[in-house]
Structures are given as structure tokens and as C-alpha cells.
Chains A and B, each alone.
Chain A
Amino acid sequence: MLLQYTIWISLIGAFLVAMIPARDPGSIRWTALFSMVGSLAVAVAAYARYDAVAGGYQDVLAMNWIPSLGAQFLLGADGISLPLLVLTGVIGLTGVLFSWNVAHRTKEFFIYYLILIAGVYGVFLSMDLLLLFVFLEIAIVPKYFLISIWGSTRREYAAMKLVLYSFVASVMILIGLLCLHAQYRALTGIHTFDVRFFVENAWLLPHGFQLWCFPLVFLGFATLAGLFPLHTWAPTGHVAAPTAASMLLAGVVMKMGSYGCLRAGLLLFPHGLQEPVLFFDFLVPQFWFWTFAGLAVFGIVYGAGASLVQKDFKFVVGYSSVSHMGFVILGIVTANALGLTGALLQMISHGLIGALLFACVGRMIYDRTHTRHLDALPAFDLRSRMPALTAIVIVAFLASAGLPGMSGFIAEFTVLLGTMKVSPLLCAAVGLGILVTFAYSLRLLHLVFWTTPVHGVQNAECHEPLPPLTLPEKLASGILIFLIVLIGLLPHTVTGVMQSSIEQSLRQMNKKADIQTPPLAQKPSPVHP
């Protein structure tokens, strides 16, 4: 099992960093960099070795963990999680590069950073839901420290808000998980958290049970993914976080949420989305589908609209994350192959783009200008003084806006394809979101680069020389832009791996869907038609 080393390398990196004396930040950085390169190399190697045609989990590490609960130490990756693992590696690596100038408590910074990455790797690798949950929780605490020690704007408030949201989300997930476990124990007598078992036997679950357990788990994960209206942690958290942490938050931590929505939400409760609900004497068909799809679409439009009126550069990016993650949720709830492909593509795409955007504003601009306020930035005349930076920011925002030819477009396009199959009406609303997305991207570019500075804002600081882009910055931006364009032009590099896994998952999910409520269900659900 090759991929397990992604986790171990990150943890060993954290351990080594802890062993290096704090007065030697150079070695600490290089250690962090090497461990990230190592884990990325492992992920890429596994990606290359994966047999995309066969699909499914191919290289599984299975060990007993807690026999009395049936929990196993079960690691493996299929076509759905592999791209996300590579994404984690890429974001982790570029995050280290963009954190090259962290001087305050460098050692602790990289320890927390590497632990967080290990947790993320673990989430994407776990095939045992309890293990997945454990890794999900491991990722929470480093987030708190990363934000509240190295953060900016209202960092302690934001950090606390973020982790409390995460914790409440994980509480919801845990409840759902426990219920699922107990339900299967009652139905089959088997103690297990093996996600493969859950997927294969999902048809056994009583529909009534799915109807309340599905939204619980789904909402839990969707909170992490920033679904409206549970998104409010995201903008404040992203804004307060230091650059690398906001890159990670937007790049992969939110993806853990959406990954969970797919892996532990949608696939385990095939009827959760479809069942009607009695709502004030009115039978709403496909209640949870409409609820979540509606929220996702509203989130797309709302996030974009909120970005349109922000005064802080980073808040623009923060809200744009909410908007983009709406596409992911939307793609997932469509529950068809196109929608899921789109959702996964959007996860990857937004992972890269969001990370690039946060790197632009947090590291490349803020660290030079020490302001992110859109009224103050024009005074620095970035366009003529830092043309390379300007080009990078423009590319990043065009990518974020979903310009065709970049990864964002193909991802959102595919999500639209999936959604159109289900409801053209939703697509129309999404179209509005796309428009607003372009609007705020252009507005931001205009405000930062083309506005004549307001007279009062100008001060001597604006005319101090701006340090040129450093090599790590150029390198990391280059990596991210290259991948964004690569995926935009050749999405097959990503979709090729995930296609058969998605199809298999959907097949299993829909298996025996026509069978009525199994005889083992204790009582007929009051909402079953």
C-alpha cells in the first residue's frame, strides 16, 4: 500500500520539524518542503499506477483496529479520492513555498501545517468511516492554532468560529455515523465501518431511516464544504488565516467536506435524496434533493453577490469560495455520473484556483503592501510596478470566474451538464451566478489595478520599493497556473481516473433500488408514500 506513506511522510515531517531547534528556520522550511515533495511524489506515483479502466479501490491496507466495534484501519484510494490526494499534495507543497517567509514561530507553524496535511490525506484515504472521522477531527485543532497565532483580521474570533463550526459539523457526522453503525448492526448483525460494506448494503436501509440520517450526515459534511447558510465560518476563517492556511482551507479542507458529502452522504443513503417528505400536510417529492440543490444554487449566487460588495480583497476571495463550493454540492446532489464528475472536477479546480487566489492576496500582495483594503491598494500602482504579479492575479481571477480553457470552466460546465439532466430551472439560476462571478472578478481587478488612487489614502508607505516576486512565489504560482490550464485544456488527465470509479459507485448505489423497504425494517415510515 503505497499511499499510506503520504500520511506517514507528513507526520514524520512534523516530527522532524519538532526536533529541529527553533533558531534554525532554514532547516525547518527545507524539512517541511521535502516532506511535502515526498508525499506529493507518493501521491503522483500512486496516481500513475492506478488502473483507471478497472476502477474501484485497488491497493488496500486493512488491519484490525477495534474489533469490538468492527472498526478497521482501512486505507485505500479509488478514482474518486486519488485526484484529491494529488491535489492535497500540490496544495501542501505550494503552501510551503508561499510560507517561505513565515518568521514568527516558524517551527510551530510547520508542525501544525504538516499535521493538518496528514489529517487531510487521512480523510481522503480512509475507507473506514470511523477512521475517516478520526482524521477529520485531527485536522480541526491545527486549523485553530494556525489561524489564531499567525492570522490577521479578528483572528481569534475567526479561528474559534471556524473550529466550532467544524466541531458541530463533526458532531452531526458522528451522530449519523453512530446511527448508521447501529442500524446495520441491527439489520445484519455485522459490526463494521467499512465504507464498501455500507455502499453495497445501502439498499437494506429502511427508507424512513435514510430520510433523517442522510441530511444529518450530509449537512455535517456540507458545513465543512461551506454550504449556504452554514458557510459563515468560511469567509471570516479564510480571511483571518495566514496564507498557507487559507490556501489549505479553501484548497483542501473544504474539499474534505464535499468529499464526505459524496462518500459518506450520497453513496450510503441512496434514497435519502429521493424520498418525499410530508411537510405541513403537503407531500414534497424529493425533499432533500430540492433542499440541498436549492441551497447550493442559492449559495452560488449569494457567494458571488457577497463578493461583489466586499471592501477587503481577501473577503472577495473568501466569499468566492462559498460560491464555487456551491457548484460542488450541486454536482453531488444531482447523483448522476456527469454531476459527480463535475463536482469532483470542481473540487480539484477550485482547490487549485482558490489556493492561487489566496496566495495572491495573502502572500504576494498583502505581504508587500500590508493592506488588503480595496480603496488603499490602487495607491501602490501594482500594475506598473509589479507586472508579473498583475498577470498572475489576472489569470487567477479569470480562472476563478470560469473562463473557458481554464479548469473552472470545464468543471462548472460539467456540473451544469449534470444539473441540466435533473432540473433545467436550477441551471438558469446557476447562470445568474456565473454572471455575477464575472462581475465581481472584473470589479476586483479594476479596483486593484486600474483605479486612480483616492487622494487621502496615499501616504509615504505606498512609495516604498516593493520587493520583487521571490523564486518560491514564482515557482508555486507557476505550478498552480500550469495545473489550472492543464486541467482546463485536457480534463481527461483527471476525469480519466475517476470515470469508472464514479460509474461503479453509482451502479452500486442504485443497485436493487427497486426493492421495497426490506422486511427487517421495524416499522413503516410515516413519510413513505
Chain B
Amino acid sequence: MNTAPFLPCLPQIALSLWAFGLLAADAFWFRHWPMPRRNRRLGLLSALGYGLSIFLLLWRPVGEPSQSFGPVSLVEMMEILVFAGAALTALICTRDEWTEHCGELYTLLTVSALGLSFLVMARDLIMVFLCLELSSITLYALTAMRGDRRDATEAAFKYFLYGSLSSAFLLFGLTYLYGLTGTLELAGIAEAFSRQSPGPLLMMAMLFVVAGMGFKIAVVPFHLWAPDAYQCAPLPVAAFVASVSKIASVFILILFLGVLAGAQGAFSLGAGAVRTQPGWVAALTFISLASMVLGNFAALNQTHVRRLLAYSGIAHMGYLLIALCAGTPAGKAAALYYVIVYAMATLGTFGVLGVLGTQSGGETFRHLAGAAHRNPTLGFFLSLFVLSLAGIPPMAGFMGKFLVFSEALTSPHAVGLGMLWLVIIALLTSAVAFYYYLILLKAVWISEPAEEAPRELIHTPWWFNAAMGLLALLILVLGIFPAPLLEFLAAGLAHTR
């Protein structure tokens, strides 16, 4: 049997086997273990599985890439990020209080991660759709995993309704693309567009595609599910949705926009030669603007930290879209860089929050008051993550924002200083964001805990601290030395179609 076509998927195959093995082990072996230990063991095993697949990914002999899968370097990187993010999520799960159906949890999480890892490899419209659905459907289920809570069910239902609607949009858009070009492959579509003017139907297609992807990365106006889902889903699931899922989705969005770049100039909103601006840029600009403004201002008076992070996540995706609006190759690299460091910081924030929140009885500012003192190490890491999200140097979040804005100012889609107005609005809203992030830090470090609140130190195992520390270190290093990653991303994107 010729194994070559399966080689690129070797890690995924191994991971799915591992996941089902895990399910079986839980059902037959760990079932009678006391709860925290069972959960912890499963989580560590699950993380080990991701580690194994990363190892396989690096180890496998690189074969001839098939039609559906792109060349490896950047894609490999994306897969690694997905796996590593999922592994961290699994580690976060081990600290979570909720442990009723842990076997199912880890398996479903793995399936979702599998969907995302396939998504970054997909270069075919059908594949893209299938992968997105695979990951989304498992996430709906994961969100509702806490059947004992009504709000979780409600959130999952909301998530599901919006999700299926946007899937329909996406599918609709994809069929248009197919109808226009007669091919399902992204490369083929791009080539077709470069040969002939696609006409206004492309606009329709793109709007639907953007709507579908916009749901996945939660930008205005497709964001309504996010706050509820973040707040009510189990914390690790929320972390996963907020980070890993966004990396993969942004990556695929970038690929779609790359296809459109071939059709650039074919139609425009402006009339004269001076302000030629492709229509999709206008749409993205609008989405970006709305996300930044609405996300940041809505986050301003949240008291539940996860809702705050949800809204701020919306705003972050708005910033990211600015780089995509710029339409330069460096802009795409900047966007990818942005989403990677955003995901790291978010994952870290959720991780620490999980520990502090479970031990403090809730995740509102009131519950978390002074919580950082109960574990100063994690508190310190949390500060780094939050400052990165706020865009304070030397954390990577700053560098991400800086790159995005710098690219926007040199955008070929606008005259002179490009989208200066957009950058100004972005920076002003980032001042708003700075305020609420600071409130969060103030809560955990400065506010006095309530009388009845527990004050004893929280113990966390060394591997958890190490994982969070690694994230924090990465954020610092990527912020201080962004050049290697940036160059890698730029070179990778140049070769990825």
C-alpha cells in the first residue's frame, strides 16, 4: 500500500487514535479513580498525545504535497500552534473544577483540534468547509457540556444558532466561488480570477465568505454569540475558542483574501483613478472599525472577566483586520503575528484565571479582588499576559499592534498616509482597552478581598507553572525580538497559496 498520501496527515491520524484510546481508557480504567486525580491524569495524557503528534509532525518524512494540501513550512507551524494550544487547553482543564465527563471532554477537544489542524492544511473549498464544521460542531457540544447549568445550555444554543447560520452563509459564498470559476481549489480560483474579470458576483461571494469567517473569529456584526459562550462555557473550552480556533480561522481568512488579491482592481467603490479601493477592503474596514469601537466600549463596563475578554477579543480581531485591509504581504504577516501573540496571551490569561477563579468562587472583579496575592507567580504571569493584550511594550502584544498600524499607514489602498484615520481610531480605542485591562490588574493585585473571601495561598503543580511561564516567556521574547518570527511568517506566506 502506498502510504505517501497519508504522510502529511500522520500526526492527525495518530492524534485521533490517541483520543479514542483516551476515551476508552477513561471508560474502562480511570472510571473509578477519585475525581481530581482522574481528571488530572487524563489531562496530562491528552497533553502528551498532542506532544506526540507534534513530534510526529516534525519527524515525518516530507512527501510530495498532494493537491489538497499546501507546502509544509508555514502550515506545519500552524499545525504545531494548534496542537500546542490544544495541549495547553488540556492542561488548563486539569485545573478546572468541573470534572464530571472528563473523558468526553478531552476527546471532543481533540476532535475540535483535529478539525482546526486540518483546516490550516486545507486548500480546497469543500475541505475548508468540512474542517470548519468539524471543529465548530464539537465546540457547540463542548459549550453545552455543563448540562446542569441553564445558562450554559442557552449559550451553547446561541452559539449553535449563529454558527449554523454563518455556516450557511459560508457555504453559500463558497458555491458562488465555485460557480464563478468552476474549480474548488484555491489556487485554481485565484488563477481564474487573474485571467478574467469576475464581475459583481464575486462581491456577493466574498461578502458571504467574510460573514462565515467573521463568525469564527467573532467580529462585529457576527459576534453576538461570543460573550455568552465565553462566560458560560467551561473555562478551557472558552480558552480554546478564544485562542486556537482564532489562529486557524485567521490563517484561512488570509488565504482567502490572498485569492482575492488576484482580482484586485477588477471592481472598485471609488470612481477615479486616485482612490481605487477594492470593495472587500471597504467591507473589512467597516467590520474592523465596528469591532474595535464596539468591542472596546462594550468591554468597558463588564464585571465578569470572561465577558470582558470576549468583548476585548472582538476588538482585537478588529485591530487585526486593519492589517488585512492594508493588503500588503507584510500586512498579512503582521496579522498572523498578531493573532499568534493574541492567542498566547489569551490562553495564558484564561489559564491563570481558571486557577484563581475556581479558588475564589467566581470570575467577577469582586471575586478576584486581591487574588493574585494567593499565587504571586501566576499573578505575575497574568500581568504579563494582560499587559500584552493591552499592548504595552516590551510584551508581544505591543509589537503586534505596532506592526499592524505601521502596515496600515503604507497601504496601497489609500493615498499618502494610508488609513491614518483608521489607525487613529484604533489607537484611541486601545486607550480605552488599556483602561479596562488596568482595572483587571488592579482587581487582582490591589483591591482588598472581601471579608469572607479565602486568602490562603493556592498551590499549583510545577508543570502548570512551567507551561504558563513558557507562555509568558514567549510573549516577552516575541515582543523584544519579533524579527525571526516575522521573517518566518512573511517568507512562509509568500510561498503559501
| Residues B398 and A183 in contact, CB atoms below 8 Å apart | no
13 contacts between A and B (CB under 8 A): A134-B394, A135-B393, A137-B393, A145-B445, A148-B442, A164-B431, A171-B431, A175-B423, A178-B406, A182-B406, A182-B409, A185-B410, A186-B410
Most chain B Cβ neighbours within 10 Å, of A68, A138, A149, A186: A68
Q: Which of A179-193 contact B (CB under 8 A)?
A: 179, 181-183, 185-186
Which residues on the B side are within 8 Å of A133 (C-beta)? 393
* A182 x B417 contact (CB < 8 A): yes
Q: Residue-by-residue, is A236-273 near B (CB-CB < 8 Å gives 1, otherwise 0)?
A: 00000000000000000000000000000000000000
| A67 close to chain B: CB less than 8 A | yes
* A522 within 8 A of partner (CB): yes
Q: Please tell me if A454 contacts chain B, counting CB pairs below 8 Å.
A: no
Q: Which residues of B contact A138 (CB under 8 A)?
A: 392-394
Map CB proximity to A onto B431-460 as digits: 1 under 8 Å, 0 otherwise: 100110010011001100000000000000
B406 near A69 with CB under 8 A, answer yes
The answer for the CA separation of A145 and B406 in the assembled complex, in Å, is 30
B300 to chain A, nearest CB (A): 12
State the Cβ distance, A443 to closest chain B Cβ, in Å: 36
List the A residue with the shortest CB-CB distance to B486: A68
A167–B434 touching, CB < 8 Å = yes
Residues 419-430 of chain B, each 1 if its beta carbon lies under 8 Å from chain A, else 0: 010011001101
Does B492 reach chain A (CB closer than 8 Å)?
no
Q: Are A182 and B410 touching (Cβ within 8 A)?
A: yes
Q: How far is the CA of A387 from the CA of B490 in the complex (A)?
A: 68
- A66, B482: Cβ atoms under 8 Å? yes
Q: Mark A164-176, 1 if CB is under 8 A from B, else 0.
A: 1001100100110
Structural contact, B445 and A149, CB atoms closer than 8 A: yes
Query: B481's closest neighbor in chain A, by CB?
Result: A65
The reply to whether B431 and A68 contact each other, CB–CB distance below 8 Å, is no
- CB pair B445 A160 closer than 8 Å: no
Instruction: Decide: A68 and B490 in contact? CB cutoff 8 A.
Output: yes
Q: What is the interface of chain B, defined by CB distance below 8 A to chain A?
A: 330, 387, 392-394, 398-399, 402-403, 405-406, 409-410, 415-418, 420, 423-424, 427-428, 430-431, 434-435, 438, 441-442, 445-446, 481-483, 486-487, 490
At the interface, yes or no: A225 with Cβ under 8 Å from chain B? no
Check B431–A160 contact: CB distance below 8 A: no
- Pair B423/A164 contact, Cβ less than 8 Å: no
Of the residues B405, B438, B441, B486, contact of A66 by C-beta under 8 Å: B486
Residues of chain B lying within 8 A (CB to CB) of residue A181: 406, 409
Q: How far is the CB of A378 from chain B (nearest CB, A)?
A: 34
Ordered nearest first, which 6 A-B pairs have the shortest CB separation?
A182-B409, A134-B393, A171-B427, A137-B393, A167-B434, A66-B483
A69's nearest neighbour on chain B, judged by CB, is: B406
Bits for A140-166, please: 1 = Cβ < 8 Å to B, else 0: 110011001100000010001001100
Check: A64 CB closer than 8 A to any chain B CB: yes
CB of A219 to closest CB in B, whole Å? 14
Q: Closest residue to B330 on the A side, CB-wise?
A: A68
Contacting residues, chain A, for B445 (C-beta < 8 A): 145, 149
> In the complex, what distance in Å separates the CA atom of A181 from the CA atom of B410?
10
Counting chain B CB atoms within 10 Å of each CB, which of A130, A149, A168, A175 scores highest? A175
Best-surrounded residue of B398, B406, B415 (most CB of chain A within 10 A): B406
B417 and A179 contacting across the interface, CB-CB below 8 Å? yes
Q: Taking the nearest CB of chain B, how far is it from the CB of A470, in angstroms?
A: 29
**In the complex, which residues of chain A have a beta carbon less than 8 angstroms from the beta carbon of B428?**
168, 171
Interface residues of A (CB under 8 A from B): 64-69, 130, 133-135, 137-138, 140-141, 144-145, 148-149, 156, 160, 163-164, 167-168, 171, 174-175, 178-179, 181-183, 185-186, 522
Instruction: Identify A156's interface contact among B394, B424, B446, B482, CB under 8 A.
Output: B446
A134 to B403, CA, bound (A): 13
Asked whether A522 and B416 contact (CB < 8 A) given A68-B487, A69-B403, the answer is yes
Which residue of A137, A168, A186 contacts B392 across the interface (Cβ within 8 Å)?
Answer: A137
Cβ-neighbour of B405 out of A67, A140, A164, A174 (below 8 A): A174
For B403, list chain A residues within 8 Å (CB): 69
Cβ contact within 8 Å between A141 and B417 = no
A175 near B431: Cβ-Cβ < 8 Å: no
Chain A's closest residue to B409 (CB) is A182
User: Which residue of the partner chain B has the closest CB to A134?
Assistant: B393
Q: Are A134 and B427 in contact (CB under 8 A)?
A: no
Complex: chain A residue closest to B411, CB-CB:
A182
* Most chain B CB inside 10 Å of its own CB: which residue of A64, A135, A163, A182: A182
Q: Is there contact, CB below 8 Å, between B483 and A64? A: yes
Q: Which residues of A contact B406 (CB under 8 A)?
A: 69, 178, 181-182
Cβ of B438 and Cβ of A144 under 8 Å apart?
Answer: yes
Complex Cα spacing A134 to B397, Å: 12
User: Cα distance A171–B398 when bound, in Å?
Assistant: 12
Query: Which of A140, A149, A168 sits near B446, CB closer than 8 Å?
Result: A149
Structural contact, A179 and B420, CB atoms closer than 8 A? yes
Nearest-CB residue, chain B, relative to A130: B402
Complex: A144 Cα to B383 Cα, angstroms: 13
Q: For residue B482, which residues in chain A have a CB less than 8 angstroms away from its CB?
A: 66
Q: Is the CB of A156 within 8 A of B442?
A: yes
User: Given the complex of chains A and B, what is the CA–CA distance between A376 and B433 in angstroms?
Assistant: 42
Shortest B223–chain A CB gap in Å is 25
Partner of A171, one of B387, B416, B418, B430: B430
Shortest Cβ gap from B34 to chain A (Å)? 35
- Distance from A456 Cβ to chain B, minimum over Cβ atoms (Å): 33
A141 close to B392 (CB less than 8 A): yes
- Say yes or no: A137-B398 contact (C-beta < 8 A), given A149-B446, A171-B427, A171-B430: yes
Whether A167 touches B417, Cβ cut-off 8 Å, given contacts A68-B490, A178-B406, is no
B405: A residues at CB distance < 8 A: 174, 178
Q: A163-B434, A183-B417 are in contact. List 10 more A-B contacts (CB 8 A).
A: A66-B399, A141-B387, A148-B442, A156-B442, A164-B434, A178-B406, A179-B417, A185-B410, A186-B410, A522-B416
**Minimum distance in angstroms from A34 CB to a CB of chain B:** 23
Given A68-B486, A145-B446, A167-B431, also A179-B409 (CB < 8 A): yes
Q: Nearest-CB distance from B273 to chain A (Å)? A: 15
Interface pair A175/B424, CB less than 8 Å apart: yes
Are the C-beta atoms of B438 and A160 separated by less than 8 Å?
yes
Residues of B within 8 A of A141 (CB): 387, 392
In the complex, what residues of B have CB within 8 A of residue A167's CB?
Answer: 431, 434
Closest approach, in angstroms, between the C-beta of B59 and any C-beta of chain A?
A: 32
CB-defined contacts of A174 to chain B, threshold 8 Å: 402, 405, 427
Q: Which residues of B have CB within 8 Å of A67?
A: 483, 487
CB distance from A325 to the nearest CB of B (A): 23
Contacts of B434 in A (CB 8 A): 163-164, 167
Contacts of B490 in A (CB 8 A): 68
What is the bound-complex CA distance between A384 and B468, given in angstroms?
A: 58
Cα–Cα, bound, A183→B409 (Å): 9
Contacts of B487 in A (CB 8 A): 67-68
Chain A residues near B427 (CB, 8 Å)? 171, 174-175
C-alpha gap A156/B423 in the complex (Å): 30
**What B residues does A144 contact at CB under 8 A?**
438, 441-442
Give complex CA distance A22, B487 in Å: 42
A134 and B442 contact, Cβ closer than 8 Å, known pairs A65-B483, A140-B392 = no
Kindly state the separation between the CA atoms of A148 and B387 in the bound complex, as whole angstroms.
17
Q: Smallest CB–CB gap between B455 and chain A, Å?
A: 15
Chain A: which residue is nearest B442 at the CB level? A148
User: What CA separation (Å) do A68 and B485 show in the bound complex?
Assistant: 11
Residues of chain B within 8 A of A65, CB atoms compared: 481, 483
Q: How far is the CB of A116 from chain B (nearest CB, A)?
A: 13
- Beta-carbon contact of A182 and B431 below 8 Å: no
Q: Decide if B446 touches A148 in the complex (CB within 8 Å).
A: yes
Task: Report Cα–Cα, A66/B478, bound state, in Å.
Answer: 11
Once the chains bind, are A163 and B409 in contact (CB under 8 Å)? no
A60 CB to nearest B CB, Å:
20
| Residue on B nearest A136 in the bound complex, by CB | B393
Residue of B with least CB distance to A169: B431
The interface residues of chain A lying within 8 Å CB-to-CB of B420 are: 175, 179
A174 to B431, CA, bound (A): 12
Closest A residue, CB atoms, query B427: A171
